Amino acid sequence: MFEIALYEPEIAPNTGNIMRLARNNGCHLHLIEPMGFQLEEKRLRRAGLDYADFGRISLHKDYAAFLLAVAGKRIFACTTKGSQPHHKASYQAGDILLFGPETRGLPDTVLADIEPECRIRIPMQPDSRSLNLSNAVAIISYEAWRQHDFVGGK
């Protein structure tokens, strides 16, 4: 299946929603520190998670550690600066969908190491604010899964 990675997430309820989403669409979730909250916060539990869900999550001390852990996998940077719409990408099992923090998105240093064709964006109206992080993760991860006929789903 696909994997979701959150680069330095800041808002616990968003991450809790994404944890629940990953449980529902079968994605493995990577959390890249530092984060703006502790994993034990009750705001995460409010998303309806149980302890079994934490087995589908990998915690990385920083971006370099994340890159070592996922070496050899293709990474899609999900960014408003993307060169192509998310639905035009051709996703493969094992691809990683990388999202930046809520207030600033992925930094240019991260984007510079990702091929332009792997920098994707969600189409939206001009001069609009970007979507909430958990909404963006849902849209892109379900498009990737849709391209594979929702394998493993019911």
pTM: 0.92
CB 52 within 8 A of CB 16: no
122 annotated to bind ligand: yes
- Say yes or no to pLDDT of 51 above 50: no
82 annotated to bind ligand: no
Which strands form 3-7's sheet, in the order they lie side by side? 57-60, 28-32, 3-7, 96-99, 75-78, 119-121, 84-85
User: 3-147: which CATH number, 3.40.1280.10, 1.10.3720.10, 3.40.50.2000, 3.40.50.2020?
Assistant: 3.40.1280.10
pLDDT digit string, tens, across residues 58-88: 999 999 999 999 999 999 999 998 989 999 9
What's residue 81's pLDDT? Answer: 87
26 annotated to bind ligand: no
- Say yes or no to pLDDT of 49 above 90: no
